[in-house]
Amino acid sequence: MPPFLAFRLWLREGPSAERALAAVAAAVVLALVVLALVPVAGESSSPAGLAVELPAPAGSTGPTGASSAAAGARAHGTTGGASAPGATGSSAVGGSAAAGGTRATGAGGVAAGGGTGQSSATPGSPGCAAARTSSAPGVTASTVLFDVANISLAGPIGNSTFDVRPDLGKIAQALADDINEHGGLACGRKVVLKQYDVNPLDANDSQSKCLQMASDHPFLVFNVGAYLTPAARQCFVQNKVLEMSSTQIDYTELQQSYPYLFSVPAVAEQMVDAAVAGFAKRGIFSGPKFKKLGLFEDGCDPPVNKRIDEDLARAGVMSSQVTKYVLDCNVASPPNQIEQGVVQQKLANATHVLLASSETNDENYVRIANGQNFHPQYLVSDYGSNTSGAGTENWGSAFNGAVGITTTRVGEFSSGVHNPQEVECDKVMRRHGVPGVQHENKDTSAMGSCDSFWFVRQAMAGAGDNPTQLSFLQSLSTMGLFRSADLGDGLFNRRGKLTGGDFEREIVYRGSCSCWHIVDRTMRPVQ
């Protein structure tokens, strides 16, 4: 998540006086990171009513495997040549859901067809109103209650320090008002929001706000960067509250939190799957330029590191062609430790370096390598926020020409491509008196909020006249193609599918603008 990324950058580069004042807060963050690595013990808290099948991790032979994403895309009208945003800003992924009760989507992710369980009555019509009941937590005959947890970094570590928009609450309200103005949800119900400012640096504040939200009994909670670790997010699971997360999660957390956690972006494993397969497909691991790969990781997510090894082997990269260095798990690792990795990979004559740690550590790697006159071809994935639109100026000129494979829409705005969802997001904000989308780096929070609200709107369209948690989760798995403004497009066409990021493209870093630019106009199914 960009706010957390920005916080890590502040730890390294912020004024010493501010860092001293925030030492206690930083210690809390470090403790949270450590806690996030500890597996959650105990049996699943999923009630029998929500016991739908969890898919296998991305890249496996199960239903969410990368090859299945491509197969699913073909089955639903999208192929390796799926249409992508061109100069006119057309949608990144072509085709429409045509079978299995899935629903096509238009701009903003609005459901455009009659999906499974969708109301047969027009929203607001007498027949529809007569059918409405209080069917689930947060759902009355006339309203649907959502709670919103907005990141609020207090004291010397303020949101403005990291270009986190100060109007997150107004953004959420604008989106809710717009939905209400266009027919509401679930047979014409009005969206009602209850919003909380949550300081992720204060464990007591995070826990108490989570318990307050649980006591509200909302239909679901939008986590807008406020709960940054698996340990913090477990409060929602323990209280059986559905959570729409905009932060990076991995398959282990998805499994342990099932079925209460879902998101628009891909899980971490799919991020690295897409990247390694994408590099291989584009010939990056082939000669004559490629000789040896420097693999730079940290110890924070061993399953993801293992997945990278497996992906490289599948791509034909032999272990003798890889020199690996793994940092300890730190929010911002000591420069001398990063330097050891640089020296190791320089002495090994690495021609390419795949950066797979936090963006803070990876940016330091680039700086240190530049100082040692080591200039490999840099490669990155979405993992660790390395392709984030926020904070791109921190990479520096030595990163020029770096290649990324992303499952998000990053780079479009900087390339002059405006997809329909981003355009609509901008219009919604402006119609409701909120500043629109003006810059890719500074407005990721606005676009991400649009994605989150529109994702829920699309799922609710298939959850029936009187939605329940179960019907909502079932609708997620059958709603078809979701098009995003920023966080990534997903194909939700199989049981238990709770995360997106099913399409990828190549991007390149340009030092001239300190930004990402798209290379592929077409987003293709993750292979």
Residue 310 is part of a domain; what is its CATH number?
3.40.50.2300
Q: What is the mean pLDDT of each run of 10 residues along the chain (527 residues)?
A: 43 44 41 36 41 50 39 38 35 32 38 35 61 92 97 69 81 98 95 95 93 98 90 94 91 93 95 97 92 96 95 97 94 91 98 94 96 98 90 91 97 95 97 94 90 97 94 94 96 93 97 94 90
Single out the residue of 229, 303, 317, 385 nearest to residue 58, CA to CA.
Answer: 303
Which secondary-structure segment (H or E) carries 327?
Answer: strand 322-327
pLDDT at 360: 87
CA pair distance 418, 399, nearest whole angstrom: 25
pLDDT at 123: 59
- Is 196 in contact with 213 (CB distance < 8 Å)? yes
- Which 3 state secondary structure label does DSSP give 202? coil
Beta-carbon contacts of 87 under 8 Å, excluding residues fewer than 6 positions away, are 416, 417
Q: Which amino acid is at 76?
A: H
Per the structure, the count of domains in the chain is 1
Evaluate whether residue 190 is within a structural domain. Answer: no
pLDDT at 129: 66
Evaluate whether residue 423 is within a structural domain. Answer: no
Evaluate whether residue 319 is within a structural domain. Answer: yes
Place of tokens 């299945």: 68
CA pair distance 339, 361, nearest whole angstrom: 10
Count the alpha carbons within 13 Å of 251 in the hemisphere toward its beta carbon: 23
Evaluate whether residue 206 is within a structural domain. Answer: no
Evaluate whether residue 193 is within a structural domain. Answer: no
Identify any residues that bridge with 352 across adjacent strands, giving them in sequence order: 293, 377
Angle between helices 444-460 and 420-431 (to 10 degrees): 100
The token pair that represents 135 in the structure block: 């069917």
Single out the residue of 272, 517, 513 nearest to residue 403, CA to CA.
Answer: 517
Tell me whether strands 515-518 and 503-510 are parallel, antiparallel or unpaired. Answer: antiparallel
Q: Which amino acid is at 486?
A: D
CA pair distance 248, 225, nearest whole angstrom: 10
Evaluate whether residue 330 is within a structural domain. Answer: yes
CA pair distance 478, 102, nearest whole angstrom: 5
CA pair distance 393, 74, nearest whole angstrom: 38
Tell me whether strands 403-406 and 503-510 are parallel, antiparallel or unpaired. Answer: antiparallel
- Is 511 in contact with 400 (CB distance < 8 Å)? yes
Which secondary-structure segment (H or E) carries 209?
Answer: helix 203-216
pLDDT at 200: 86
- Which 3 state secondary structure label does DSSP give 355? strand
Q: Burial code of 63-73, b = ≥16 C-beta within 10 A, e = fewer?
A: bbbbebbbebb
φ, ψ of residue 321 to 5 degrees: the values are -95, 5
Evaluate whether residue 45 is within a structural domain. Answer: no
Domain with 394, as residue range(s), is 270-412+508-525
Evaluate whether residue 323 is within a structural domain. Answer: yes
Other residues' Cβ atoms within 10 Å of the Cβ of residue 347: 10
- Is 375 in contact with 398 (CB distance < 8 Å)? yes
Residues written for the chain: 527
- Is 502 in contact with 521 (CB distance < 8 Å)? no
pTM: 0.80
